Structure 1
Amino acid sequence: MLVLSAGLVVAGAVAVKGIRTASDTITVTGASTERIRSDYVDWTVTVSGSGPSQQSAYQSLQPQLQRTLAYLEEQGIPAKAIGRGVIQSSSNDIRNHVTGALMSTTWTARQPIRISSADVTLIRDVSIRISDLVGQGVSITVEPPAYTYTKLAEKRVDMLAKATADARKRAIAIADQANSGIGAITKADTGTFQITVPNSTEMGSYGSYNTSTIDKDITAVMGVTFRVQ
């Protein structure tokens, strides 16, 4: 935000020099930032089983899969929030490094489990505790939960309106230094839309959408051109 603020100051300083007559315009960048809280989460846990054949790998997977599903429900996640992906299997050949002869083959079967829920706090807490299954001998791979905000379209409109209002305030402050006034908007350009971790100073050229935290900062930027009176 320090970088963004500096950019706004520079833009304002350049614009003052362009105020000459009533037909002139001034272009100012406005911004609006708010803290929002994610209201939805997607989380994937993959359970694995291994064996010397594809069939044995699948058979090894089943009890671990059932234990994982039971654990998720024990933690308070409803069955309707839990879905299964397509089982995938792969093989790994172990060969003699001198002769290249095949020594053994290990098959691995993987079952993705996807959890989708509006209870972001519950899923966050379970994602922290699920490593307990590893201590019970369950082979799992846990991806970080992806937290999103489902009302983003409505929030975007509100944020752009506030960014435009901020641009007008800046334009008025700049015009006052030249004893001029601000008239109607002649052009408005939507800038980058940033959703970042709280208090982040990172700004992407094409916008950003952070999904790693429940709380986020949302920033809208507008480039607005006003007529100078």
Structure 2
Amino acid sequence: MAVLGLGLTTASGVLVKGIRNANDTITVTGASTERITSDYVDWSVEVTQSGPTQQASYQGLQPAVEKTVAFLKAQGIQPHELELDSVKSEKEIVRDPRTGELRSTVWTTKQAILIGSWDVDRIYKISGRIGQLIGQGVPLTINEPAYTYTKLAEKRVDMLAKATRDARNRARAIAGQAGSSIGAITNADTGTFQITVPNSTETADFGSYNTSTIDKDITAVMAVTFRVD
């Protein structure tokens, strides 16, 4: 994993155990990095309204929710891509810190609008426009879209195979300098997968999964031990 700390835009870095005789082994870190494009997006916005009573806050919330849903549909969100979350209501009581006398009661009611879509580019564009509603007086909390790649399981298999080939090529080059050749694999350890923003050098011990960008870089690392013949 020290290799990743140096930035694996192109795989590099080798760990070698001495080549002395035919029973020796060589351990090499191979890596593979590819650019992938997200194919699904989850996004949500939350409408919030406050009032002196629970009923008042709820009644104020509904027109704002309806206006937000109408905006999203007008922008191209399909009915099956949109879902209303349950309504949540909270009460805040403000008292005089000296006398404990009740000063005010405020009810806050919230409802999230959840969007899930395979049309990643369309949601990206809409998320940049929905701020218009705030200017029209709609009390919104706008969350960042979460972009994901749904074929990751298949991609991992392919990436590990490429990382293993990369390790074999490195091992051959190193062994060749000692006049030896590479034999069978005796051990293979899979490192963590790093899915990051494009061209990032950031890593995490337990792997990472960036959801903030549509395009991402995925890096797979394999520590492979070969017999030296």
- Opposite residue 33 of structure 2, the aligned amino acid is T
> 2:205 matched to 1:205?
yes
Runs of 4+ in structure 1 off by over 4 angstroms are: 4-8
Q: How does 1:160-175 map to 2 (within 5 A)?
A: 160-175=160-175
| SS across alignment from 1:9 | coil
In 2, Cα distance between equivalents of 1:7 and 1:79: 45
The share of aligned pairs that are identical, in percent, is 62
The alpha carbon displacement at 1:9 in A equals 3.2
More helix by share: 1
Q: What's the Cα RMSD here? A: 1.6
Q: Quote the Cα distance in structure 2 between the aligned partners of 1:102 and 1:190.
A: 61
- Hey, what does 1:126 align to over in structure 2? 126
Match of 2:217 in 1: 217
Assess, with a 3 A threshold, how the Cα gap between structure 1 residues 8 and 225 changes in structure 2: closer, same or farther. Answer: same
* Secondary structure in structure 1 of the residue aligned to 2:203: coil
Distance 1:8 1:195 in 2: 18
Q: 1:93-147, CA deviations, whole angstroms, 9 ceiling, x for partnerless residues?
A: 2222432211111101100111000111111111111110001110111110000
Structure 2: runs of 5+ lacking an equivalent: none
Greater Cα shift, 162-171 or 95-104: 95-104
State the distance in 1 between where 2:183 and 2:7 align.
25
What TM-score, normalized to structure 1? 0.94
Q: How many positions carry a matched residue from both structures?
A: 225
For residue 120 of structure 1, what is the amino acid of its counterpart?
Answer: V
Residue type matched to 1:208 in 2?
S
Do the aligned partners of 1:8 and 1:28 also contact (CA within 8 Å) in 2?
Answer: no
The SS at the match of 2:144 is coil
Q: Does 1:74 align with 2:77?
A: no
Q: Deviations over 1:10-29 (max 9, x none)?
A: 52xx43xx101111111100
1:145 paired residue number: 145
Pair 1:3-2:38 in alignment: no
After superposition, where does 1:1-229 map in structure 2 within 5 Å? 3-4=6-7, 8-9=12-13, 11=15, 14-15=16-17, 18-229=18-229
1:149-206: CA deviation from partner (whole Å, max 9, x where unpaired): 0000000000000000000011011101111100111111111101000000001111
Preserved contact between residue 47 and residue 65 of structure 2 (Cα < 8 Å): yes
C-alpha change, 1:39 and 1:104, in structure 2 (3 Å) is: same
Aligned-pair CA distance for 1:7: 9.7
Q: Distance in 1 between matches of 2:14 and 2:180?
A: 19
Q: Aligned partners of 2:184, 2:14: CA distance in 1, in Å?
A: 23
Q: Which 5+ residue runs of structure 1 have no aligned equivalent?
A: none
The superposition leaves residues 58-113 of structure 1 with CA deviations (integer Å, 9 ceiling, x where unpaired) of 10100000000000001111111001111100112222243221111110110011
Aligned residues of 2:193 and 2:208 also touching (Cα < 8 A): yes
